[in-house]
């Protein structure tokens, strides 16, 4: 059994490289829509508190069959917002259909120090049902549209060069967690 402890090294993987970034992984546990790993550059207590409170807005922006899952936290009156994409071609063929037909709304979220790989905060939160369903619908179309994870990654990079996270948020209906 894997034990996770705040203030200790994150044991699932060490992707800390000093760079701030966010990623999603989908494991073969359909109890969760996905698991979110945010490698934050030296998060202070305000960010840790915002993460653990689970009081955030979320939504999904769609472009070219790529879901950009949007998150927006209030950190002492300032907006902290970010997006993360899902590439369905990273899943095994046997698992794709099971995940696409899942009813889960839950996400596990980990805030990890990007420099030290220390787990700073974690939470389990529920997405709005419409958002969770839309993510899976977009990914189902993505699976049919693209032949490889590389094609999805190439299109994702093109989209990211044309629109910012803030613009995505402005064009998306956001829901409270």
| Number of domains forming the structure of the chain | 1
Summary mean pLDDT of the chain: 93
Pairing assessment for the beta strands 106-113 and 34-40 based on DSSP bridges: parallel
* Domain assignment present for 3: no
Cα 51 from Cα 35, distance rounded (Å): 14
Instruction: Return the pLDDT at 92.
Output: 82
Q: Evaluate whether 64 touches 152 at the Cβ level (below 8 Å).
A: no
In this predicted model, what pLDDT tens digit does every residue of 25-44 receive, in sequence order? 988 767 899 999 999 998 99
In a domain, 148, yes or no: yes
36 located within any domain: yes
Residue 138: pLDDT over 90: yes
**Structure confidence at residue 104 (pLDDT):** 93
Answer yes or no: is 6 within a domain: no
30 part of a folded domain: yes
What is the spatial distance between Cα 153 and Cα 30, in angstroms, rounded to a whole number? 24
Provide the whole-model pTM.
0.93
pLDDT, tens digit, for every residue of 115-135?
999 999 999 999 999 999 999
Q: Is residue 5 part of a domain?
A: no
pLDDT digits (tens, 9 = 90+) for 65-91: 999 999 999 999 999 999 999 999 998
Q: Does 11 reside within a domain?
A: no
**CA 150/CA 100 separation, integer angstroms:** 20
Residues 6+ apart with CB under 8 A from 67: 60, 61, 85, 86, 134, 135, 138, 139, 142
Q: Which domain holds residue 94?
A: 21-176
Residue 15 lies in a domain: no
């Amino acid at each position: 059994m894997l034990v996770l402890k705040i203030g200790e090294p994150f044991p699932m993987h060490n992707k800390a490289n000093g760079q701030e970034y966010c990623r999603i992984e989908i494991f073969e546990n359909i109890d969760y829509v996905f698991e979110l790993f945010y490698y934050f550059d030296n998060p202070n207590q305000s960010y840790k508190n915002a993460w653990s409170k689970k009081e955030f807005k979320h939504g999904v922006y769609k472009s070219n069959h790529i879901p950009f899952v949007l998150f927006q936290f209030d950190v002492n009156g300032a907006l902290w917002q970010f997006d993360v994409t899902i590439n369905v071609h990273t899943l095994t063929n046997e698992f794709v259909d099971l995940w696409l037909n899942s009813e889960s709304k839950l996400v596990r979220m980990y805030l990890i120090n990007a420099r030290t790989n220390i787990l700073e905060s974690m939470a389990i939160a529920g997405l709005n049902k419409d958002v969770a369903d839309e993510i899976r619908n977009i990914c189902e179309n993505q699976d049919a549209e693209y032949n490889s994870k590389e094609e999805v990654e190439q299109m994702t990079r093109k989209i990211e060069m044309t629109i910012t996270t803030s613009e995505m948020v402005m064009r998306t209906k956001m829901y409270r967690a």
